[in-house]
Structure 1
Amino acid sequence: MLVSAERICLVLRSRGIPAANVEGYKPLLRSMNQPDHDILSFHLRRIVMGADDEASLKFVAELTELANGNQISTTDPVLASIRPFTAPATRSKPVAQERPERSIARPQVMVPSASSLRTEKEREVVRKKHYVYGQRCAYMFELDWLKARPHQANQKRTLTVEAAMQIAPRSYDWERRISFQFTLLELPQFTAALLGKLAPNQVWRASNHGRARDKFFRAKEQAESLFMKLEQAGVIWPVRVGQEHRYQILTLALEALRYNDDNLDTPTIIQLCEASLPRVPGI
């Protein structure tokens, strides 16, 4: 199966990796044979799964440089066999004045370009996340920006949860993942649930998300763990979050809450989170 330029852009941008224009990838892909496409598909799957594989990140970074029309020095046989993209019509600079060959700085691969970052604080916190792997599903908890108000001057932070079904041992279908983002009202309550403040048999719910309002999230204390379920259109993605994972997820949630209310200290935020949790009748 051949990889499309649109798929490359979708995968890279969904993981916060700089991508070239779609048209820049197309001539490169046309010059690649089926085995080359298989290698590219493998690297994209590794990125989708959140593996942070250095070889895969290097491959897509160098491919993007070629798609941007830049000459590169590479040891990869697939990339060495294709030429950089040249835009049709006239170019603003003659070929002789194009940028010289340069190496790709690996630490910058996962960071969006400066023009896409809204604030200095965003540069400090980019794509912080934690994974929980279960028997049927895997969850990724990620420090994110609130998508409901993308153009707000003082944009708020929250957590996004992504879930993927297991398709083989230690392999999850991240390309068909479901995504769920907590609102500003839900994030403090979810934080309280992580802190173990749910009453016995209490189920915390976040409902009616998505364009079709068919996404639901549930959390319940169960046998020294927090049992979570994401649901959309009748399909359920369940995972059991053990005690050992609470700290990592809590640090992400508290970082978002501290950013949103930087005039409050952490103990005060925790108290307010506990107070925001719905009360169970009789308790």
Structure 2
Amino acid sequence: MAVSERSADRPETGSPVSGGYLAQLLRDRGYPAPTARMARAYVESLGANGRSELEALMRALSFGTEATSDVTTLLDRINALESSATLAAPSERPVLPLARKPTRRAPDLALLRQHGLHAYAKAGAAKLELDVLQIHGDEPATYTVRLDVAPSRAGSYDWASKIIFQFTLRELPMLGAFLLGYTASKAFSARNHGKGGTKALLIEDQGAHHFLRVNEVGNGQVAMPIAPAEIFGLAQLVLTALALNRPAVPPEATLELLRRVGGSM
């Protein structure tokens, strides 16, 4: 169970849950992650049952199968701990109640999962979804589109070796123009992603379907066809992200802008 970028904070099998690894998992899944210090403080505040439940949630996060409500509850509890004036000694820390009112982050987290979809092929699988690019204090979230791709091995999909690819704000309109057929080019590529620029993506329009290839140096490659229905869903995700980032721009104006962008590609 791992995410695409390994962490020294990840606990060995049978060892206590790591706050540092928890923070990384949340960050890799696109959630507004707490600092490693606060994550460790939260882990230390848990009893045996709480740690067992957290370990199960972390396992779900590593496979991308978590429930949004569970993550929202977790973030609420960490935020409640962080808002305390001082951190009590471990033996004095109270059990934090379930927050009944969601924080401002809750709608953002729910939105990320509402629009997700999967694509499957013999060579691999892909999860396509909205993602939060950055959050600064109380400012509105900045949205983008993210792909998690996993290779097929021994008759199943190896999500533990997945590659996470997040489009930049600069790439979103170009990707949208390509998916909507506004470009003369039959291919869209994005390179130099991730730490050290080790990730690259290529989408080719092959007529009956599109072909997706994502590779990461040191973590292999996933190459698979994408059916028209999933390309339609991916285009919807791009349009949704653009609309969320610029809600004042009418949809028809966005489409016209994408035509102009496509004409210059």
TM-score category, normalised to shorter length: 0.5 to 0.7
- 1:2 lines up with 2:3 in the alignment: no
Which residue of the other structure, out of 220, 227, 230, is the alignment partner of 2:204?
Answer: 220
What per-residue deviation string (whole Å, max 9, x for no partner) do you get for residues 142-197 of structure 1?
A: 212334x85795653221222222344343324x3322222222111211222244
Q: In the comparison of the two structures, how many residue pairs are matched?
A: 237
User: Which amino acid in 2 is paired with 1:248?
Assistant: G
Unaligned runs of 5+ in 1: 70-85
TM-score (norm 2): 0.66
2:164 aligned with 1:183, yes or no?
A: no
Taking a change above 3 Å as real, the CA distance of residues 22 and 181 of structure 1, as seen in their structure-2 partners, is: same
Q: Distance in 2 between matches of 1:204 and 1:144?
A: 20
Any conservation in 2 of the 1:209–1:216 contact (CA below 8 Å)? yes
| Aligned-pair Cα RMSD in Å | 4.4
Q: Distance in 2 between matches of 1:89 and 1:150?
A: 30
- Separation (CA, whole Å) in 2 of partners of 1:155 and 1:9: 18
CA–CA distance in structure 2, aligned partners of residues 165 and 239 of structure 1: 9
Specify the alignment match of 2:118 in structure 1. Answer: 131
Correspondent of 1:277 among 237, 262, 265: 262
* CA offsets 1:118-138 (integer angstroms, 9 cap, x no match): xx9747734442222222222
The answer on whether the counterparts of 1:167 and 1:173 sit within 8 Å (CA) in structure 2 is no
CA apart distance, 1:221? 0.8
Q: 1:158–1:184: 8 Å Cα contact kept in structure 2?
A: yes
Shift of 1:18: 8.1
2: distance between equivalents of 1:102 and 1:151?
24
Kept in 2: contact 1:161–1:181 (CA 8 A): yes
The 5-angstrom pairing of residues 1-283 of structure 1 reads 1-3=13-15, 4-6=17-19, 7-12=21-26, 14-15=28-29, 16=31, 21-25=39-43, 44-52=58-66, 57=70, 88=89, 91=92, 113-114=103-104, 117=105, 122=108, 125-128=111-114, 129-147=116-134, 153=139, 156-174=142-160, 176-199=161-184, 202-233=186-217, 235-277=220-262
Q: Give distance in 2, aligned partners of 1:8 and 1:158.
A: 23
Q: What SS does the corresponding residue of 1:48 show, helix, strand or coil? A: helix
Q: Which has the higher contact order (CA 8 A, sep 6+)?
A: 2
- Identical counterparts, % of pairs: 20
Structure 1 pair 61/185, CA: closer, same or farther in 2 (3 Å)?
closer
- Measured in 2, the distance between the counterparts of 1:156 and 1:17 equals 11
Q: Which amino acid aligns with 1:208?
A: N
Between the aligned partners of 1:53 and 1:210, the Cα distance in structure 2 is 26
1:103–1:123 CA distance, 2 compared to 1 (3 A):
closer
Distance verdict in 2 for CA 1:258–1:228, change over 3 Å: same
1:25 alignment partner AA: V
Determine the C-alpha separation between the residues in 2 that align with 1:90 and 1:26: 10
Tell whether the 8 Å contact from 1:163 to 1:178 is kept in structure 2 after alignment: yes
Is this contact kept in 1: 2:124–2:157, CA < 8 A?
no
Question: Which ranges in structure 2 are unaligned for 5 or more consecutive residues?
Answer: 1-12, 82-86
- Residue deviations 1:31-86, cap 9 Å, x none? 69xxx98x9866644443233469x959x979x97xx99xxxxxxxxxxxxxxxx9
Q: 1:169 to 1:189 in 2, by over 3 A?
A: same
What is the rounded CA distance, in whole Å, between the counterparts of 1:248 and 1:188 in structure 2? Answer: 16
Q: 1:231 and 1:87 mapped to 2: Cα distance? A: 46
Q: Which amino acid aligns with 1:2?
A: G
Match of 2:10 in 1: none
